[in-house]
Structure 1
Amino acid sequence: MNRILTFIRQDGRRFAWEMGLAFAIAGTAWAIGFFWNHRRLQACQDERLALIDQVRQEEKHRLAVEYGRKLAEKDLQLLAKEHELLELRKKAALDSADRLSLIDAMRAINQRYQRRN
């Protein structure tokens, strides 16, 4: 430590120039590294954004296909239920007509027996 102080006292001007030069070189190296890394990071970020957009597009397409298939299945189920409902309505109408004709037949038989009595 004593030697350094002695050197500074003897050659203060030389020491100042050497320290200034060292700080200038360090600052220049830092600036070059900062801008170099910034460009590289910007390129990586652009690539990352492009990949994210590609993944989003693929996911959007996959979901469209998946939900389109599900909607088609639901449409088929809905058509089957509508067909089943129509058949049940037809059956109910026919059963109602059968009951009505059965009731009419019973009334006719009752009227016949009542006329005999």
Structure 2
Amino acid sequence: MMRQTIFERYGGFAKVSKVVMSFYDKILSSSLLSPYFAKIDMKRLIDHQTKFISSLMGGPASYTNEHLERVHAHLGITEAAFKESVTLMKETLEDHDFLDEDIQSVGDSMNSTKNYIVAKK
């Protein structure tokens, strides 16, 4: 029998959607991160982010690394901002009662995308 993915174990898109909403509450409260989102269509972003986080949890893959790079290239995202977003995601998963090993796994998956999201020097 195949092992359930994190995505399946916690209830799929319904749960991830709640996680992403909480995550953005934290992001918009962060003085480091909120400026990146000043002129962003949050409804659209939350939809994209729900799909992205779902894929990091073993759900349906929706974005390639090339796509991630293209959509983040103009934002000038710093290493510090990226780290903060990973920390806030881990806190959010903890708030939603994810197991420590699953939180670590999602954090590792997020970190694996860093080179496509952080601005090139």
Task: Please identify which structure carries the higher helix content.
Answer: 1
Query: Which gives a bigger RCO, structure 1 or 2 (Cα 8 Å, sep 6+)?
Result: 2
TM-score, normalised by the number of residues in structure 2: 0.18
